[in-house]
């Protein structure tokens, strides 16, 4: 089944403790992206990647890192999480051009930072 898989689905952590949210897609998509979803703000893009070893900042990149060493994987790293990073996170992928194909989304990771 074609899908984007995120892990974990739920995560509670403490301020400052490094964490990684994994994202993997099995559709051979070039384009991958991370979003956060907050009430009243919709989805905001954190980082995106147009291919292996090519990443770029989205609208809200502060406090996050990403890497794209393999085509299928695009992990999101929070080096020192803070409470304002409590949010619902989505990974998405697309064939290029994304504007024609649209995105396939993962099921989301609900992160709470205390």
Partner 1 sequence: AQSVTQLGSHVSVSEGALVLLRCNYSSSVPPYLFWYVQYPNQGLQLLLKYTTGATLVKGINGFEAEFKKSETSFHLTKPSAHMSDAAEYFCAANNDMRFGAGTRLTVKP
Taking the least distance from each CB to partner 1, the nearer of 16 and 102 is 102
Which token pair is 15?
Answer: 């301020």
Least separation in angstroms between CB 64 and partner 1: 17
Residue 1 makes contact with partner 1 by CB under 8 A: no
What is the Cα–Cα distance from 30 to 28, expressed in whole angstroms?
Answer: 7
Q: Is the Cβ of residue 42 or residue 69 nearer to partner 1 in the bound state?
A: 42
| Tokens coding 32 | 């991958």
> How far apart are CB 80 and partner 1 at their closest, in Å?
27
Q: Centre a 10 Å sphere on the Cβ of residue 34 and count the other Cβ atoms it contains.
A: 28
32 to 91, contacts with partner 1 by CB under 8 A?
A: 33, 35, 40-45, 90
- Whether the CA torsion 90, 95, 96, 102 is positive or negative: it is negative
Q: Rounded distance, CA 37 to CA 99, Å?
A: 21
Q: Does 107 bind partner 1 (CB under 8 A)?
A: yes
Shortest Cβ 8–partner 1 spacing (Å)? 14
């Amino acid at each position: 089944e074609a899908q984007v898989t995120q892990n974990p689905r739920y995560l509670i952590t403490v301020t400052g403790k490094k964490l990684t949210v994994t994202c993997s897609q099995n559709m051979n998509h070039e384009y991958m992206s991370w979003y956060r979803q907050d009430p009243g703000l919709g989805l905001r893009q954190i980082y995106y990647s147009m291919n292996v070893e090519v990443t770029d900042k989205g609208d809200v990149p502060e406090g996050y890192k990403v890497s794209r060493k393999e085509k299928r994987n695009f992990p999101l790293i929070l080096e020192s999480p803070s409470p304002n990073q409590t949010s619902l996170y989505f990974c998405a992928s697309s064939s290029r051009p994304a504007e024609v194909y649209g995105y396939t989304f993962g099921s989301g990771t609900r992160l709470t930072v205390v």
